[in-house]
Structure 1
Amino acid sequence: MLDPVPRAITSATIKIAVWIVPVIFLVKLIEKEEPFSYLGLRHNFRKGLKWAGWVILILLFYSVINITVLKNDLDFQLDFHEWLNVVLLVGITEEIVFRGYLLRKLMDSYKFWIANTITSLLFVSIHFPIWIYKGLIEFPTILGTTVSIFVLSMIFGFIYKKSNSLWSVIIIHSLYNLIVLLFN
């Protein structure tokens, strides 16, 4: 078995190869556009940061409530794999695929809310294999988790549409994942 750091780097490389590289090729070959611009990574950076800032304040408020009212403990013992693959890369890879490409592409054919709903259903569906692998499919907990991820995805889509910047949802998604890890 690989040591933790090479394992994390291998996992990160696979994520990039499976998620990001195909999207870049699709944008270049099918859309015939420059991928960073098409995906919303080159424009509205400041507007994206503004939206991310507001949501960060909400997530900080959520964290304070978790600590003070619910008496949940924070666990800062994150390893390199969690930092690289769960906090940093999941936000980047999933947002490039789901908001940057799929949502944008679906909005060519459907109204925003229909496109966002389809994207959110697909977003939820990609989480099932990891939930099954980790043994997290327990009724009724899985219903709440599924609804939470769906609603979160709908919010990500809305923020992406309003900010017209993928950076907003990448930052929010990564911070959300960090908070989930810290409170587990």
Structure 2
Amino acid sequence: MEHKTNKLTLKKALLIYIVLFYAAWAVYELLCRKLLDSAINNDLIVEMCETVIKNLVWTLPAVLLIHKYSSDVLVRLKEMFTAKVNWLKYLPVFAFFTVYILVNAYSQYGEIKIQRNFGIASIIMVFFVGLEEEMVFRGWLLNATVNEDKKWQYIILNALMFLMIHFPIWIRNGIFVSSFTHFGFIIILLLSVIFSTEFLRSKNILVPIALHMYWDLLASMFVG
């Protein structure tokens, strides 16, 4: 009976979290980010401010919730950082990311070179976005909902939720429609599936974090 009550409590916590999480992010991207950009004309400072905000609104709540519901999630907080990983197994994934990004960069620009706008602000973004997004979407949301019997249903659901977090950014940048008409959204879904699959396989959150960071690093350097 107690186990059932805990499950219901977890579902309620997930629902509240999801509603507040998406609402807060939409308000920030569509309203606060514009004010931040106009008030601070410095990409590095803006990126640092956003990093602080996202860690307070994204990472910290996710970590606290994983810890609170440790008996209900698939992988406990401590275990997801300490589970042994054979990193050599992931070399093909890193290699695939490298080839895909470089080919994409060459197809767009006719050459492969580091983008002029790549700098410290980009590096900060790369490092923290991978950590923040993976702790929320794989470490918490997937970890708290996945069922081994219906694993792919939850991986796909998680991918859709991961896609939705990009909507406010695309709206702010004026690329919401083009992200669908040019099928850019598909790569977001595929990346989410890869990150989710590797997290469930390794039971270590550092795996999707590393993959996510590497993808963002290459994309920032060569595609922009």
TM-score (norm 2): 0.70
Aligned: 1:54 with 2:92: yes
Aligned counterparts, 1:3-152, within 5 A: 3-31=42-70, 36-37=77-78, 40-44=80-84, 46-47=85-86, 49-66=87-104, 71-77=110-116, 78-85=118-125, 87-108=126-147, 111-139=150-178, 141-142=180-181, 144-152=183-191
Q: Counterpart of 1:74 in 2: which secondary structure?
A: coil
Larger Rg: 2
CA contact (8 A) 1:96 1:166 kept: yes
Could you tell me how far 1:69 is from its partner in structure 2?
A: 6.9
Could you tell me how far 1:50 is from its partner in structure 2?
A: 2.9
CA contact (8 A) 2:63 2:135 kept: no
CA contact (8 A) 1:103 1:116 kept: yes
Aligned: 1:178 with 2:217: yes
CA contact (8 A) 2:155 2:193 kept: yes
In structure 2, what residue type is equivalent to 1:37? K
Q: Counterpart of 1:73 in 2: which secondary structure?
A: coil
**Per the alignment, do residues 102 and 141 of structure 1 end up closer, same or farther by CA in structure 2, a change over 3 Å counting?**
closer
Q: Gaps (5+ residues) in structure 2?
A: 1-38
Aligned: 1:160 with 2:199: yes
CA contact (8 A) 2:137 2:158 kept: yes
CA contact (8 A) 1:52 1:171 kept: no
**Per the alignment, do residues 11 and 125 of structure 1 end up closer, same or farther by CA in structure 2, a change over 3 Å counting?**
same
Q: Which has the higher contact order (CA 8 A, sep 6+)?
A: 1
Partners of 2:113 and 2:168 in 1: CA distance: 27
Partners of 1:6 and 1:140 in 2: CA distance: 28
Aligned residues: 180
Q: Counterpart of 2:177 in 1: which secondary structure?
A: coil
CA contact (8 A) 1:24 1:35 kept: no
Partners of 1:57 and 1:11 in 2: CA distance: 30
In structure 1, what residue type is equivalent to 2:130? G
% identical equivalent positions: 23
In structure 2, what residue type is equivalent to 1:58? F
CA contact (8 A) 1:67 1:73 kept: yes
- Alpha-carbon displacement from aligned partner over 1:23-76 (angstroms, at most 9, x marks no partner): 1221232336996425x12212x32x3344221111222245346677343334
Partners of 1:123 and 1:66 in 2: CA distance: 22
Q: CA RMSD in A?
A: 2.6
Q: Counterpart of 1:111 in 2: which secondary structure?
A: helix
In structure 2, what residue type is equivalent to 1:54? P
Q: Gaps (5+ residues) in structure 1?
A: none
**Per the alignment, do residues 150 and 156 of structure 1 end up closer, same or farther by CA in structure 2, a change over 3 Å counting?**
same
